[in-house]
Copies of this chain bind each other. A is one copy, B any other.
């Protein structure tokens, strides 16, 4: 079963609105195992919309539209679909009732043009819209194909999809889909790709890499007639990935949206450990990433951003002579920051960052991109010296990720 998303609205073409509907719909459709090959955006132009419908219906079984269900002359989505189906729009009394009720609830006057929101081709299935005035619809287009009309505002589209469209699609497909997300830190995308290329060519299960700064994520997906059978296809693939990549794999998860910070919080929570941070060049990014994770309050005790040199001594008890002797960017200072913070705040583990993010401040011994990341537990304190590259933002983000990764490794 192939679906295609067709978003209608000049505001999307002008960039006034970010197309979150396309992401929402495509994510939900893939989770249902429904193939998607194209997404299209067209403006409020009848001829171009008609062409877009004909093209989409020539290659997909289900065309999902978003937007253009309102009462204005610009709202042509239903009218043009009806034309393509060769049918007339007729007033649905129950839809009229929905629209009238909604206007009463919102204490707004209903003008006559609003009745267009209650008009559909006679064979349409109405979709309730509890969050707006325009109902949606499933519209038969012949040959078993359908157009599904959804409203444009995400706060209306998303609940309508979940409540009405998802059940319809699941019943139609009869397939189960299972995915796992493999998160990797410390190996570049092309190295991952080189090691896994043959596995990435599979059809079922599929394995697809996506890269973020300093990280690679793999999505492994299998489909079968039951979830158990799909999982059975997936399990050997995941074991092979792990065997080839080793411990750069820091998480293997059932849902998307993991991160180093999430794994760090989960690891610390599972171990019953508290933590604190002492950051210089990352400037609060490490602690902010940890506190972003719900449940951080049980784990994160405090964070120090010791940005100017003497505040490392004032706040984290770093001996001034360590800084003087080894330099502010040194493994010794990073160790003293982590250890001082751990002791001052009475936590089980503390991490630290100190480095030169640039664009200024580099020296011959300590060029831009030099970063020391330290970690301290009661069992000992250590630090790594890294040579990172890129602009200020990139160096700081990579340093943050290294600190989070060190926290995970040390806590495990």
Chain B residue, CB-CB nearest to A27: B15
Say whether A306 faces chain B, with CB atoms less than 8 Å apart.
Answer: yes
What are the residues of chain B within 8 A of A190 when measuring CB–CB?
A: 70-72, 111, 113-114
CA–CA, A43 and B130, complex, Å: 34
Given known pairs A11-B210, A14-B219, A208-B16, the reply for A302 and B297 (CB within 8 Å) is no
| Chain A window 8-20, contacts with chain B (Cβ cutoff 8 Å), 1 for yes, 0 for no | 0011111111111
Which of A241-249, A319-327, A373-381, A389-397 lies at the binding interface? A389-397
Is the CB–CB distance between B311 and A345 below 8 Å? Answer: yes
Is the CB–CB distance between B291 and A390 below 8 Å? Answer: no
| Chain A window 86-116, contacts with chain B (Cβ cutoff 8 Å), 1 for yes, 0 for no | 0000000000000000000111110101100
CA–CA, A190 and B70, complex, Å: 9
Interface size of A in residues (CB-CB distance below 8 Å)? 103
Which of A34-42, A230-238, A331-339 lies at the binding interface? A34-42
Q: Pick from A22, A277, A303, A306 the residue with the most CB of B within 10 Å.
A: A303
Say whether A24 faces chain B, with CB atoms less than 8 Å apart.
Answer: yes
Say whether A45 faces chain B, with CB atoms less than 8 Å apart.
Answer: yes
Q: Which of A37-81 touch B at CB < 8 Å? A: 37-43, 45, 48, 52, 55, 70-74
Given known pairs A13-B37, A284-B303, the reply for A393 and B292 (CB within 8 Å) is yes
Minimum Cβ distance to chain B for residue A18 (Å): 5
Which single member of B12, B71, B287, B290 contacts A39 (CB below 8 Å)? B12
CA–CA, A304 and B288, complex, Å: 11
Is the CB–CB distance between B37 and A26 below 8 Å? Answer: no
What are the residues of chain B within 8 A of A191 when measuring CB–CB?
A: 108-109, 111
Which of A141-149, A192-200, A403-411 lies at the binding interface? A192-200
Is the CB–CB distance between A300 and B307 below 8 Å? Answer: yes
Minimum Cβ distance to chain B for residue A150 (Å): 15
What are the residues of chain B within 8 A of A208 when measuring CB–CB?
A: 10-11, 14, 16, 74
CA–CA, A52 and B390, complex, Å: 34
Say whether A253 faces chain B, with CB atoms less than 8 Å apart.
Answer: no
Say whether A209 faces chain B, with CB atoms less than 8 Å apart.
Answer: yes
Say whether A301 faces chain B, with CB atoms less than 8 Å apart.
Answer: yes
What are the residues of chain B within 8 A of A283 when measuring CB–CB?
A: 287-288, 290-292, 296, 300, 303
Say whether A189 faces chain B, with CB atoms less than 8 Å apart.
Answer: yes
Say whether A363 faces chain B, with CB atoms less than 8 Å apart.
Answer: no
Minimum Cβ distance to chain B for residue A94 (Å): 20
Number of this chain's copies in the assembly equals 2
Which single member of B12, B25, B71, B389 contacts A107 (CB below 8 Å)? B389
Say whether A229 faces chain B, with CB atoms less than 8 Å apart.
Answer: no
CA–CA, A291 and B305, complex, Å: 10
Chain A interfacial positions (CB closer than 8 Å to B) = 10-20, 22-30, 36-43, 45, 48, 52, 55, 70-74, 105-109, 111, 113-114, 130-131, 155, 188-191, 193-194, 197, 200-201, 208-210, 213, 219, 256, 277, 281-288, 290-292, 294, 296-297, 300-308, 311, 314-315, 344-345, 359-361, 387, 389-394, 396
Can you list 26 A-B pairs, Cβ within 8 angstroms, ordered by A?
A11-B208, A14-B208, A14-B219, A16-B210, A17-B23, A18-B20, A19-B23, A37-B42, A38-B41, A39-B40, A40-B40, A70-B189, A72-B200, A73-B193, A113-B190, A155-B213, A155-B394, A282-B291, A284-B303, A288-B288, A292-B396, A297-B361, A302-B305, A302-B314, A303-B303, A315-B315
**The 3 residue pairs across chains A and B that have the minimum distance between CB atoms:** A283-B291, A15-B27, A303-B305
A281-B291, A283-B303 known; 6 new pairs, CB 8 Å cut-off, are: A15-B29, A19-B22, A22-B41, A71-B189, A72-B200, A287-B305
